[in-house]
Amino acid sequence: MPVSQPHLDRILQMAQAREAQGYFVRVKAGDQRAASLFARLVAYDVNPSGDRTLCGWLSKTSGETNVDGWAEDAIAGNGDQADLLNVIDLVGGSGAPGATLVTRLTPADLKERRTNNLWVAPKPLTADELSYLTGGGVVVPPIPPVPATPVYPSYESLGGDEGGKKITRLLEEDYKRAEKPGLDGECGTWPHRTNYDFLVGNCKTIEASIAKHQPEWRAALNAERTSQGKPPIVW
């Protein structure tokens, strides 16, 4: 299967992430070995399981430009030996100061592979190789931000027990006006909605939330009356 655009997008995304973490330092300085290690690092990031339908390391022979038997700045987009248009160059100006990470990867950017250059399942780089990429510096992954602890209003600010009673009393009054014998198993919707909108700040007060939701439960009561052939209540 040809190398797909979503797969190329994933490769570029991982390469950009590694660059942001500091693994492109020596590559940018023009270090050829670093360019090869960087490409191999990205291939492993994308395909740690060694899936042949995904990218892998690109082997090179002794008569070709290589770093320890691997391409200096490229990877193989898949392990299909019959697909010769599957070489992905990740570095522009590799081996010279000012080398840059490619800014796009599309099927049109793929290069032709020699038949003697093979896809090989990626492996994790060693600690020494990772250190080499960063110029000996210690790369500390960015610490994810700690989510803020949500602040909830106190029970008292909800009106306490009386706040809850205020809702159910109004609800009960409307149920009686709609000629229902009392609150039923469906009525819990309305206190729940009313409290929620105040709790999350959609309404500034319980009274404002009641004003928002009372028309809803009244409409539901009238819909039930209409379905029973009864006239709607004029509230």
In a domain, residue 11? The reply is yes
What average pLDDT does this structure show over 194-210?
82
In a domain, residue 147? The reply is no
Answer whether residue 229 shows pLDDT above 80: yes
Residue 84, Cβ neighbours under 10 Å: how many? 14
Amino acid present at 177: R
Same domain, yes or no: 11 and 120: yes
Same domain, yes or no: 127 and 62: yes
Provide the token pair at 126: 């060693």
In a domain, residue 80? The reply is yes
Same domain, yes or no: 114 and 16: yes
More confident site: 150 or 134: 134
In angstroms, rounded to a whole number, what is the distance separating the alpha carbons of residues 90 and 74? Answer: 6
Task: State the average pLDDT for the chain.
Answer: 88
Dump pLDDT digits (tens) for 10-21.
999 999 999 999
More confident site: 152 or 142: 152
Q: For residue 148, what pLDDT is reported?
A: 56
Q: Which residues contact 91 (CB under 8 A, 6 or more apart)?
A: 27, 35, 38, 39, 73, 99, 100, 101, 102
Q: What is the pTM of this model?
A: 0.59
Same domain, yes or no: 100 and 169: no
- Name the strands in the sheet holding 70-76, side by side, starting at the edge strand that comes first in the sequence: 87-89, 70-76, 56-59, 119-120
For residue 204, what are the domain limits?
A: 160-227
Tell me the β-bridge partners of 76: 56, 87
Q: For residue 143, what pLDDT is reported?
A: 46
In angstroms, rounded to a whole number, what is the distance separating the alpha carbons of residues 122 and 32? Answer: 19
Q: 70, exposed or middle or buried, with CB in 10 Å at 0-12, 13-18, 19+?
A: buried
Dump pLDDT digits (tens) for 77-102.
999 999 999 999 999 999 999 999 99
Same domain, yes or no: 69 and 174: no
Contact 30, 98 (CB under 8 A): yes
In angstroms, rounded to a whole number, what is the distance separating the alpha carbons of residues 165 and 27? Answer: 69
Q: Which residues contact 181 (CB under 8 A, 6 or more apart)?
A: none
Q: For residue 197, what pLDDT is reported?
A: 82
In a domain, residue 53? The reply is yes
Dump pLDDT digits (tens) for 28-87.
999 999 999 999 999 999 999 999 999 999 999 989 999 999 999 999 999 999 999 999
Answer whether residue 142 shows pLDDT above 50: no
Same domain, yes or no: 113 and 40: yes
Answer whether residue 141 shows pLDDT above 60: no
Same domain, yes or no: 98 and 20: yes
Q: For residue 183, what pLDDT is reported?
A: 86
Answer whether residue 214 shows pLDDT above 50: yes
Answer whether residue 155 shows pLDDT above 80: no
Nearest CA-CA partner of 76 in 133, 19, 115: 115
